[in-house]
Amino acid sequence: MIGQSSSYAEIVVKITPARIWSSGSVKLTENVSSRLSEAKRSYDALIYTKLEIPRLERPTAPPPGQPGEIAQLPLAGQETLTVRWSRYQEYLAAFVEGEKRPSYMRERLLETMPDGLESIFSEPLPTSQPVRLWWASDTPELEDLPWELVSYRPRSDPERFSFVRGLPPENPLPILPIGERLRLAFIHDPSYTPQPLQDALMNLTGNIEVIDFPDFPRKALEQVVKEGYELVHLVADGIVSSAYEGILYFHGGRSTSPKLSPGELSSILRGSRVSMLTLSEQQHKSPDVIDIGGQLVPSVYRAFAYLASSRLPLPTMVVPLGPLEPSDMHEFWNKFYYNLGESLSVQRAIARTRIRNYPAPAGLFLRHLHEVLFRRQSTTAKSSQADPNEIGTELQLSHDVVEQLKAHSELYGPLPESVSKFIESESARQGDLEEALVPWLTPEEGELNR
């Protein structure tokens, strides 16, 4: 449960298309015929938290079809977020193709913000605890906008506020035991990898060991899983399918099949020790572009956002949602990995990495509930203990099998006695597995203060 495992005061913001409900009918809030020229659309920003936020007025009930609480957090506010899509060319073309100014993009995104929601980002935090805000959207068109640029303001202690993508996970992933240093697999084709990125990773200092994998991406990923790496940095281009799937695309003849779908990536990594996957764009014009007002905008950032927000089982992901200048690219990734190696927390690593007083346009798609992803263990301690990642994988597989058998029983009637006994024994075994995981689901004293 979120209250038992998290050291944060939590806020969940769920964005859903705004609707009005009356007399049992459903109507879009926007008059399509009168506003078509504006290409303007409104969304409900549903805010769930136990914190008292002065500018929020608690609604009497959630909109139909929406939950009254998420992760034991009650609905505390409902606001209207408005995007003028006629300015989409400004949003993307100026930022991606033009001057690449975070300040300009931030101003455009601030125009969409209602006062109550914006106050969470701009006013003093309403608690002495660190605050974590989860940002999730029901609509794919909002995923690739870099909301991170409006989520942070200059703070005396920037680590007290964390902005992450997604919803709090129902089943917390265990903290992973590691040795003295984390191992990072750098999977890329050097001829298509930006030189600042190569310099940043290959000259990295601190508690992360970088191993170069200039090989076929699938083969490299399979080797990484087999050898138990904790981190993967994958350099790729991206395209977007008609189903809004973000698909990785590899230039350069390093693979007989240059595309990697979210399903295949999930299948390769599921159950592995890879706890975090980061993506960088190849130094090559994307084969897939969006034509917006006559401007061609690369799809790679959209593809990364859709892939990272997939509901398939994937690791925590850090992906760029917009471009970085070469010097900024080197500074961001070098600082990020150095801080990750020191703190073992991806949230603190992001908070400690600033480019010209702005957060980089990089999204943290978080699938861990607790702040610390890793725990350093001596070689003797690691060899004498069961791997919590293996326990967690076994527990999830057991849950899946039992749930499928129960669903079969509901559809087709009572199960054979042998199957019922199997379900009973598996349920008991699940309790044992859950008990073995308990020490790995909560950070130890001192782990939060690095």
Specify the pLDDT at position 312. 92
CA angle (209, 214, 218) in 5-degree steps = 100
Specify the pLDDT at position 235. 94
Shared-domain flag, residues 186 and 105 = no
Q: Is the CB of residue 72 less than 8 Å from the CB of residue 1?
A: yes
Q: Answer yes or no: is 435 within a domain.
A: yes
pLDDT higher than threshold 90 for residue 157: no
The CATH number for 297's domain is 3.40.50
Shared-domain flag, residues 139 and 189 = no
Q: How confident is the model at residue 29 (pLDDT cuts 50, 70, 90)?
A: very low
Domain limits for position 411: 386-449
Shared-domain flag, residues 119 and 203 = no
Q: Answer yes or no: is 351 within a domain.
A: yes
Q: What value does the mean pLDDT take over residues 410-439?
A: 88
Cβ neighbors of 27 (< 8 A, separation 6 or more) are 19, 20
The proportion of the chain whose per-residue pLDDT surpasses 70, expressed as a percent, equals: 81
Phi, psi of 132 (to 5 degrees): -125, 130
Q: Answer yes or no: is 139 within a domain.
A: yes
Shared-domain flag, residues 412 and 439 = yes
Q: Answer yes or no: is 357 within a domain.
A: yes
CA distance 8 to 372: 12
Question: Looking at this protein, which amino acid is placed at residue 31?
Answer: N
Phi, psi of 319 (to 5 degrees): -135, 145
Q: What value does the mean pLDDT take over residues 178-205?
A: 93
Q: How confident is the model at residue 274 (pLDDT cuts 50, 70, 90)?
A: very high
> Within 13 A of 219's CA, how many CA atoms are on the CB side?
10
Q: Answer yes or no: is 170 within a domain.
A: no
Listed residues 165, 184, 210: the one ending a domain: 165
From the list 404, 410, 408, 401, the residue with the least C-alpha distance to 430 is 401
In the chain the first and final C-alpha atoms are separated, in Å, by: 25
Which value, to the nearest 10 degrees, does the dihedral of the CA atoms of residues 105, 106, 112, 116 take? 170
Question: Averaging pLDDT over each range in 84-88, 93-97, 246-250, 282-286, which range is the top one?
Answer: 246-250
Q: Answer yes or no: is 312 within a domain.
A: yes
Shared-domain flag, residues 8 and 124 = yes
Shared-domain flag, residues 355 and 392 = no
Shared-domain flag, residues 147 and 208 = no
Q: Answer yes or no: is 56 within a domain.
A: yes
Shared-domain flag, residues 362 and 392 = no
Shared-domain flag, residues 154 and 193 = no
Q: What value does the mean pLDDT take over residues 196-223?
A: 92
Shared-domain flag, residues 405 and 301 = no
Q: Answer yes or no: is 417 within a domain.
A: yes
DSSP-based three-state secondary structure for 425: helix
Q: What value does the mean pLDDT take over residues 386-398?
A: 85
Which residue bears the tokens 């909002």?
A: 142
Tokens of 269: 């990594």
Q: What value does the mean pLDDT take over residues 308-318?
A: 94
Q: What value does the mean pLDDT take over residues 7-27?
A: 69
Listed residues 302, 333, 366: the one ending a domain: 366
Shared-domain flag, residues 405 and 298 = no
Q: What value does the mean pLDDT take over residues 13-38?
A: 54
Cβ neighbors of 81 (< 8 A, separation 6 or more) are 15, 42, 43, 44, 45, 112, 113, 114, 117
Q: Is the CB of residue 133 less than 8 Å from the CB of residue 151?
A: yes
Specify the pLDDT at position 390. 86
pLDDT higher than threshold 90 for residue 342: yes
Q: Is the CB of residue 105 less than 8 Å from the CB of residue 149?
A: yes
Cβ neighbors of 371 (< 8 A, separation 6 or more) are 6, 7, 8, 345, 347, 348, 443, 448
Shared-domain flag, residues 161 and 180 = no
Report the number of distinct structural domains present in the chain: 3
CA distance 382 to 177: 7
Specify the pLDDT at position 60. 87
Residue 362 exposed, middle or buried by CB count within 10 Å (0-12, 13-18, 19+): buried
